[in-house]
Structure 1
Amino acid sequence: MGRPTVGDRKRFLERLNGALDRQWLTNGGPLVHEFEDRVAEVAGTRHCVATSNATMALHLLYMATGLSGEVIMPAMTYVATAHAARALGLTPVFCDVDPDTGCIDPRRAEEAVTARTSGIVGVHLWGRPSAIDDLGKVAERHGLRLLFDAAHALGCSYRGRPVGGFGAAEVFSFHATKVVNSFEGGAVVTDDGDLAERLRSLRSFGFGPDGTSQRVGINAKMSEAAAAMGLTSLEAFEETRRHNRVNLDHYAAGLAGVDGVEVVTYDAAQNPNCQYVVIRVDEAVTGIHRDLLMRVLKEENITTQRYFSPACHQVEPYRTERPVVLPHTERLAEQVLALPTGPTVATADIHRVCEVLRCAVGAGPQVTERFRGCEETA
């Protein structure tokens, strides 16, 4: 899947040594504050609250906005979107996605509203923005909080505005796999000053400015070491974005004309970070299932991921507690495969991946029969 975007290692070590010299390693040090300022600048928001990871950022945001009862969200997302709500005693209510974008379908979201619904969480899948305006109208009609899981969407935009300033707040991820990483990390960005203050309190045990507990909080602070990595990786962001765009173009060219394999594309007007190269594999056309194709690639030492499969409503505890059928989500989850990309993936690597894919798809039925025979023998 490629390697983390590290950036200038010398600059990272300078920052880390500075933290060691100051002996200020956590609890809101200067590097964290600088990282928050830089992320807020990218997001076009007044506030950024950095956290230990994006799951904690979601958890804090659900707490800070006072969500209760049911929260509507797409099932086509990483389980953290749902788990962060479930851990607070909330009920994730999954609705179907737009079959073209993979993002939450506002019509299906509105159909899921009940008297117990308190909020809607949109997910910018693979960095492609949700139908933000339509979701806003649904939330307004029903008096609901609108939040966004923007884990994939740093630096992207929607109708000329940076992702980050929509809804009550949005959450970014800075996990090592992301286009900007802080080893592990996350952040909530918002224009709401009162919400930002609650978030800062909640991430530090519920303490107020005077250092005493004002509410029930948790420990979700970002360390200075993580911020040093985040700042250094962020400095390489635009270069990484350009490299990712070139990678995507090479994949699109290399897989052009392969029936049943579609490379997911991005709208240039949305300023995509192209963090993910995702293909959709239609077994009815290729004669080979996505999972088997993934196995063939693995045997060639090519690592891929199913982003996101199975979908959230297909895993525990959700499939048992609240069974639901989501046709578009299930079809998409059955087909998607993320291919290697990032600054360490070269053009020659992409050509090899495409060559293996074309060969496997071209021999689809024979490959399927071969692996079935191996499984029966085993």
Structure 2
Amino acid sequence: MDNKLITVTSPLLPNLDDFNEMLKQIWESKWITNNGSFHKQLEKELAAYLKVPYISLFTNGTLPLITALQALRITGEVITTPYSFVATTHALWWNGIKPVFVDIDPKTGNINPDRIEAAITPKTTAIMPVHVYGKPCDTKRIQEIADQYGLKVIYDAAHAFGVEVDGESILNAGDLSTLSFHATKVYNTVEGGAMVMHDERMKKRIDYLKNFGFANETTVVGPGINSKMDEVRSAYGLLNLKQVDAAIEARHQVAVKYRAALRNVEGITFFDDMPGVRHNYSYFPIFVDAGKYGMTRDELYFKMKEQNVLGRRYFYPLISEFSTYRGLESAKLENLPEAHKMADSVICLPMHHALTSNDIDRIINIIL
């Protein structure tokens, strides 16, 4: 019996010969960072692919979140979700901002707009939702609330590369959106990230902030940080952009097979595609009802692990359960029942472009 290790994800890698050719160009130019030609080209090509007006590259996915808060001068309190990777909330904490957690919508895993208004106080300055698993938030309702109360909206779109609603990029929602290009993501530059903005003025401000605040050789316009992407990863990213559509379609086919096999398994549920949405199939979470399935989530998780299949319990525990945040009033369990329920039942199954039919069958047979 095949017992090879099946990981929850696998990086999309460019052709090594093609990458070496681009590395030769970098070596010949001796321009390896600081807004080189590949960096400029990648920003241009990503903006076109993602259907966004302006984009700024970063060295990882956390620094755009931190920088977005700086750029919009966010202070006080920000309403956010406990159901995400911890970087979402850490970005607030690093800026001296108090996170205020609200519960999620169990139909999507995203922040529940119906819970936002009750969390607004005189200190609230922004909302930071997350497109969890790449499933679009209710951006219209969130924007209505933000406009009514004069709040900024920053979307953590780390999971949402290429996601569209009715042909429009989800990245155009809110005031700013941020992306992660980490190796685990649908599209990666090894480590990397980006910020999407609406106008040239904000693009210029962000570009200053990510380069120590320099506006030119002798002028520093603000207390910036160093978070630029280098030429090596920009070249890698250009090559991956050429093959990301094929990778997303391969992921789509994995999702189709999972759904067909698991739809009628009692005690196992999952999300279906949303109407009008171009999904990127970044994750495939299932939710285990122990009473109906006959096994707890953790029992199934470790059963998979024992058979060399690595799922992940994204996002367990909730951010609100970590020591830094659990003392907050909004972190109390009674305020977040749906988030706790989802965190306690989720397993993200292996999902990537390189899964074989045999891999998928092995995973399904363990669950069945």
TM-score by length of 2: 0.94
Counterpart CA distance in 2 for 1:220 and 1:93 is 27
Counterpart of 1:164? 171
Does the residue aligned with 1:119 lie in a helix, a strand or coil? strand
Counterpart CA distance in 2 for 1:12 and 1:191 is 32
Aligned counterpart for 2:33 among listed residues 20, 23, 26 = 26
Does the residue aligned with 1:221 lie in a helix, a strand or coil? coil
Distance 1:44-1:211 versus aligned 2 partners, 3 A rule: farther
Cα offset for 1:192? 2.3
Q: How do 1:156-195 residues align onto structure 2 when only pairs under 5 Å count?
A: 156-195=163-202
Counterpart of 2:69? 62
Asked whether the 8 Å contact 2:92–2:98 carries over to 1, the reply is: yes
Cα offset for 1:211? 4.3
Counterpart CA distance in 2 for 1:175 and 1:2 is 11
Cα offset for 1:292? 1.7
Distance 1:275-1:311 versus aligned 2 partners, 3 A rule: same
Amino acid at match of 1:347: S
Counterpart CA distance in 1 for 2:119 and 2:199 is 27
Distance 1:222-1:211 versus aligned 2 partners, 3 A rule: farther
Asked whether the 8 Å contact 1:45–1:164 carries over to 2, the reply is: yes
Once the two structures are aligned, what percentage of the paired residues are identical? Answer: 33
Cα offset for 1:27? 0.8
Counterpart of 2:46? 39
Give the stretch that moved more between structures: 205-214 or 338-347: 205-214
Equivalent residues, number: 358
Counterpart CA distance in 2 for 1:211 and 1:169 is 28
Counterpart of 1:374? none
Amino acid at match of 2:84: T
Counterpart of 1:346? 356
Counterpart of 1:328? 338
Cα offset for 1:15? 1.8
Asked whether the 8 Å contact 2:81–2:130 carries over to 1, the reply is: yes
Counterpart CA distance in 2 for 1:54 and 1:355 is 35
Counterpart of 1:84? 91
Counterpart of 1:365? none
Distance 1:164-1:211 versus aligned 2 partners, 3 A rule: farther
Asked whether the 8 Å contact 1:175–1:181 carries over to 2, the reply is: yes
Aligned-CA RMSD value = 1.2
Any gaps of 5 or more consecutive residues in structure 2? 1-7
Cα offset for 1:226? 1.2
Aligned counterpart for 1:243 among listed residues 247, 250, 255 = 250
Any idea what the Cα deviations from partners look like across 1:94-127, whole Å, max 9, x if unmatched?
1011111111111111111100001001211111
Counterpart CA distance in 1 for 2:9 and 2:208 is 36
Any idea what the Cα deviations from partners look like across 1:162-216, whole Å, max 9, x if unmatched?
1211111111110000010000000001112222111111111111134432211
Asked if 1:357 is matched to 2:364, the reply is no
Cα offset for 1:12? 2.0
Aligned counterpart for 2:140 among listed residues 112, 128, 133 = 133
Cα offset for 1:324? 2.2
Amino acid at match of 2:349: L
Does the residue aligned with 1:319 lie in a helix, a strand or coil? coil
Amino acid at match of 2:321: Q
Asked whether the 8 Å contact 2:157–2:177 carries over to 1, the reply is: yes
Amino acid at match of 1:331: K
Counterpart of 1:145? 152
Counterpart of 2:296? 289
Aligned counterpart for 2:13 among listed residues 6, 9, 22 = 6
Give the stretch that moved more between structures: 61-70 or 249-258: 249-258
Amino acid at match of 1:9: L
Counterpart CA distance in 2 for 1:41 and 1:138 is 30
Asked whether the 8 Å contact 2:316–2:344 carries over to 1, the reply is: yes
Counterpart CA distance in 1 for 2:23 and 2:338 is 46
Aligned counterpart for 1:75 among listed residues 82, 85, 94 = 82
Does the residue aligned with 1:31 lie in a helix, a strand or coil? helix
TM-score by length of 1: 0.92
Asked whether the 8 Å contact 1:43–1:189 carries over to 2, the reply is: no
Counterpart of 2:239? 232
Amino acid at match of 1:216: P
Asked whether the 8 Å contact 1:150–1:173 carries over to 2, the reply is: yes
Amino acid at match of 2:356: A
Any gaps of 5 or more consecutive residues in structure 1? 359-378
